[in-house]
Amino acid sequence: MLAGTALLLTAGILNFAQRLRHETPAWDGVAWSDTRQGITADSVELGSSGDRAHLMPGDRLIGISLDNRNWEEVVHAKDVQIYLEQANPIDGTIHYLIERPSYPPESRYYYADLDHLDRIHKWTPRELYINLIGLVYLFIGFFVLFKQGGRAPFALHFATLCLAAFVFQSYTPVGTYRDLDLAIAFLKNAAFIIFPPLFLHFCLVYPERQQLYHEKRWRGALLYLPAILLLLFATFVFLRGVIAPVASPLGRVPDL
């Protein structure tokens, strides 16, 4: 238990160091979404590179260029991040071909030049508050464990419950999709999946074991069956996403 906690705490510290160094992906400040009309801007953060380029909610993204010469069509909103990551080393500049539906047909298409790309925020007050709650869980769980001793009834169960809460509340993937960040994302989801049955099991047996689990302890294992199946599915999806080659979303922009 202590060895596993030490590993998870070390991963949390490394994750915190990533955020401290602002190792987050490039960002244009625009929340893009897939709609029937195409890739549409839901919101534009004030002061971001998208705002400086005069993008507005409702704008439709048609194409992207990294050099302002070769333009490529964008099919899905999630593909925008791929271009932003490619643009980041090139002086943080990217070019968008935008359609503004509210304008007349002859003037609704325009080019937006985004320079000095921002970084995705990982220090919002909300996230810091949730991270702090995770640390409080960890402190309380292991305070009880050391105070009561590992052999005390329910102490180990309670500490495990608090450890799971610490992981899914304090871990914050930065979105770089590198080895550490992938591990952080997977562990966060795994802890979130296992926390509900841990909590339900603890509520059913504390402060006194119920008759349901007194003679047939295997019934307690049934509480974890849905979480185990969901965890296996999450593992399959995670490994499939890591191992499977990523198809290129790039395509030529059609003639306007």
pLDDT tens, 186-219? Answer: 999 999 999 999 999 888 888 766 555 556 666 7
Q: What is the pLDDT of residue 250?
A: 46
Query: What letter does residue 48 receive in the DSSP assignment?
Result: S
Separation between Cα atoms, residue 117 and residue 88, nearest integer Å: 7
Higher pLDDT, 134 or 247: 134
pLDDT tens, 47-75? Answer: 889 999 999 999 999 999 998 888 999 88
pTM above 0.85, yes or no: no
Q: What is the pLDDT of residue 92?
A: 77
Q: What is the pLDDT of residue 30?
A: 93
User: Is the distance from CB of 41 to CB of 86 less than 8 angstroms?
Assistant: no
3-class SS of residue 30 = strand
Average pLDDT of span 13-19: 88
Interhelix angle 179-205/2-20, rounded to 10 degrees, is 130
Instruction: State which fold the 26-119 domain adopts.
Output: Pdz3 Domain (2.30.42)
Q: What is the pLDDT of residue 173?
A: 87
Is 41's pLDDT higher than 90? Answer: yes
Q: What is the pLDDT of residue 18?
A: 84
Is 247's pLDDT higher than 80? Answer: no
pLDDT tens, 142-153? Answer: 999 888 876 777
Higher pLDDT, 31 or 205: 31
Separation between Cα atoms, residue 90 and residue 5, nearest integer Å: 41
Separation between Cα atoms, residue 135 and residue 165, nearest integer Å: 9
